[in-house]
Structure 1
Amino acid sequence: MEYDVIIIGAGSMGMSAGYYLTEAGQTVALIDSDDPPHEEGSHHGETRLIRHAYGEGGNYVPLALHAQKLWEELDEKTEERIFLKTGVLNFGAKGNVFLETVQKSAEEYQLPLDVMTAEEINNRWPGFQLDAGAVGYFERNSGVLFSENAVRAYRTLAEKNGADLYTNRSVQAIETTADQVTVKLTDGEIKGKKLLISAGKGTNQVTKLLDISLPLTPVRKTFSWFTAAEVANYTEESFPGWGHVDQESTYYGFPSIDSAGLKIGRHDAGHPLEDPGELAPFGTYSEDKQETLAFARKHFSKDIDLKEGRVCTYTNTPDEDFIIDYLPGHTNIVVACGFSGHGFKFASGIGESLARLLTDRELAVSLESFQLNRFDGYQ
């Protein structure tokens, strides 16, 4: 059998794309080195934030709004819990460029955004203890996505539509012609008309089979759950998702969902990985525990303690914007990668966009800013 589209990497973006391709009547093969959802990719850890007014750049807002619509549609199609509207508070010092961009993007796209002082924040959510100089921007329509549930839901729907999954498989070689791609596995081969590479931290391991290396840096990251004496202040009913940016660091976090504890991660810093397959366990570095705990005790509660920590991987591009484009020299191979730790919220919208791109249909939102030609050597 020759598939319409083969997908290498059936995580957040690949599984979403697989579903939307089957909805468009395409035959699809999804290949993954594990059995998604799993803890070896970038979608584990249960939850992700979705923000609409976007500090990373206003060009992301249309994609965020498109993704939000699709997440809500997925919520209606599955019994899985997909989206929880907690609202998201971005806070930091006045004059911060990230926060100013949040405000500008909200104004440009007429998004509801509450501007709050530190006193107003502390009074509304007693779980915060922010310094007097802080300012906050609260998006009431944003919230929390359940990442593993979403991947599982897309998998169920894609398989129901006829997609074939090849799990726990390793790609050994890729052969291409103008109208056919052959992916060779350890136990056979799969043929298709088009190929999507969405392999996360393993993307360059796949593209090197085509003698191409993309500007990607896998980085080891951590996130943790915390318990606090004032448990009632941090429940999903009483506390928002949030992000904090200053000149020294960027943190993000979630309320305690299903009593799991307050979840906090550091977005910047981390340790670049020479081998993305080798992740040092949580606690290997002193900052794994100390940095986030110090941050939590400063901004939330002095009576807070670490409950559990895990490691994950960001796959960063030089500018931390995504890569979604045809692979250089190939008219039937698309690559989606480099999501730099802020991509999951867009996975529904990106998957739907990839399905349109691979079937030569008009896109609902522009992907122009994610083209490879913005980097030297990929013109």
Structure 2
Amino acid sequence: MHYDIIIIGAGSMGMAAGYYLAKSGKNTLLLDAFDPPHTEGSHHGETRIIRYAYGEGEKYVPLLLQSKKLWAELEKEWGQTLFTKTGVLTLGPKDSTFVQNVISSAKTYDLPLTVMTAKEVNEKWKGISIDEHLTGCFEPTSGVLHSERCIEAYRKLAEEEGATLLPYRKVINLIVSEERVTVETDNETFTSKSLIVSGGAYSNELLSMLHLDLPLQPIRKTFAWFNSDEEIYNEREFPAFGFETEEGMYYGFPSINRAGLKVGRHDTGHPVDPNNPLKEFSTYKEDEQDLTSFLKQFIVQEPSLKYGKTCMYTMTPDEDFIVDSHPNYPNVAIAAGFSGHGFKFSSAIGKALSELVTKGETEQDLSLFSLERFEKKKLV
């Protein structure tokens, strides 16, 4: 069958792009190796933090503010809660680059942010205990996106707009010219004028079919929920958080709907082949040990594990994303390498991808995510 646009990979970015394309009247096909939302990529685990004063650099803030606007529009159209405003607390040494980026982002874009001493943090949240060398940055308008609900909303609304989603389709071959795209699965062939590749951890395999060799590394990540005192750690009293410690970067969520305090470590991880099953939580001793060590140091209650899960990050060397058109085929857009901090942007990136393949350009500045920054991008 022939479509206007085919999207390979209907996770965070692909599903959002499918919605915006279908809404604009394009005959859109989404193909996924699984059945989204699912547990085989990066979007599961119930929740994702969204913050606007950005420790990764203020260059991201305009995209964040666009994402915020689009999430609110999606929530209104969907009619169910997709965002919970818990506030976000960032903690780290005052002179750290991450903390300074949070502060400078807030100043540049006039974002609400309260910079707090360790004493003020400990007094405001009795579930936290930090030393005086740490500084807190509290952003009251930030909070938590319900990730699987967001994917479900984009999927259902895209299908209502006429998009076709085919799950459990593994792409085995791509043939591309400037005028036509041919996508082959195990027993089907589809054609279109344009293509979006947003394959997550499977991007290397897909992009090699387009003669691209990009420095993308999937890694195994873990996160877990811990039993918590609901009077202290509930989503009305306790914020989502990010801690920069001497050991590494940690993040967490309040106990939302009594699920328990959720914690993960952002840095470290084991390189993986996404075609092999991920090793389960607790396979490595550090899976639980890293998280309980962090909780013992900074969270007042004694950690008691409920359960843990695994997922995959797909890393770029600089931890910035790849969102660009193919260097040889302007009718092909690529979204990859979201490096563990991409979900919050998927509304705005999905819309930008839809514009790239229909207009050849987007109003959103994507220069930070260009393929040009990699010297080696074509296969020999």
Superposition TM-score, scaled by structure 1 size = 0.97
- Give the equivalent residue in structure 2 for 1:87: 87
CA drift at 1:361:
6.4
CA drift at 1:369:
0.8
The alignment covers a number of residue pairs equal to 378
Mapped partners of 2:79, 2:220: distance in 1 = 33
1:32-51 mapped onto 2 (5 Å cutoff):
32-51=32-51
Residues 1:140 and 2:170 are matched in the alignment: no
- Give the equivalent residue in structure 2 for 1:66: 66
- Give the equivalent residue in structure 1 for 2:371: 372
Mapped partners of 2:65, 2:291: distance in 1 = 30
Mapped partners of 2:84, 2:95: distance in 1 = 30
Please tell me whether the aligned partners of residues 202 and 274 of structure 2 are also in contact (alpha carbons under 8 angstroms).
no
Mapped partners of 2:183, 2:243: distance in 1 = 43
Residues 1:99 and 2:99 are matched in the alignment: yes
1:206-221 mapped onto 2 (5 Å cutoff):
206-221=206-221
Q: Deviations along 1:165-218, whole A, 9 cap, x unmatched?
A: 111111111112220101011121111000000000001111222332221000
Residues 1:204 and 2:211 are matched in the alignment: no
Long gaps (5+) in structure 1: none
Mapped partners of 1:276, 1:213: distance in 2 = 18
Go from structure 1 to structure 2 and tell me whether the alpha carbon gap of 1:276 and 1:218 turns closer, same or farther (over 3 Å shift).
farther
1:290-309 mapped onto 2 (5 Å cutoff):
290-309=289-308
Equivalent position SS for 2:44: coil
Please tell me whether the aligned partners of residues 171 and 183 of structure 2 are also in contact (alpha carbons under 8 angstroms).
yes
Mapped partners of 2:274, 2:307: distance in 1 = 25
Mapped partners of 2:57, 2:260: distance in 1 = 31
CA drift at 1:247:
4.1
Mapped partners of 1:171, 1:34: distance in 2 = 12
Residues 1:77 and 2:77 are matched in the alignment: yes
CA drift at 1:68:
0.4
1:1-379 mapped onto 2 (5 Å cutoff):
1-228=1-228, 230-360=229-359, 363-378=362-377
Go from structure 1 to structure 2 and tell me whether the alpha carbon gap of 1:29 and 1:40 turns closer, same or farther (over 3 Å shift).
same
Equivalent position SS for 1:71: helix
Please tell me whether the aligned partners of residues 220 and 314 of structure 1 are also in contact (alpha carbons under 8 angstroms).
yes
Mapped partners of 1:47, 1:149: distance in 2 = 9
Please tell me whether the aligned partners of residues 328 and 378 of structure 1 are also in contact (alpha carbons under 8 angstroms).
no
Long gaps (5+) in structure 2: none
CA drift at 1:6:
0.3
Equivalent position SS for 1:210: coil
Go from structure 1 to structure 2 and tell me whether the alpha carbon gap of 1:362 and 1:175 turns closer, same or farther (over 3 Å shift).
closer
Equivalent position SS for 1:269: coil
Please tell me whether the aligned partners of residues 53 and 105 of structure 2 are also in contact (alpha carbons under 8 angstroms).
yes
Mapped partners of 1:198, 1:348: distance in 2 = 14
Give every structure 1 segment of 4 or more consecutive aligned residues whose post-TM-superposition deviation is greater than 3 Å: 274-277
The residue type paired with residue 324 of structure 1 is V
Q: Deviations along 1:218-252, whole A, 9 cap, x unmatched?
A: 01000010113x33110011101110113430000
The residue type paired with residue 139 of structure 1 is E
Q: Which moved more, 1:253-262 or 1:172-181?
A: 172-181
Mapped partners of 1:358, 1:211: distance in 2 = 19
Equivalent position SS for 1:30: strand
Percent of residue pairs identical: 49
Please tell me whether the aligned partners of residues 183 and 190 of structure 1 are also in contact (alpha carbons under 8 angstroms).
yes
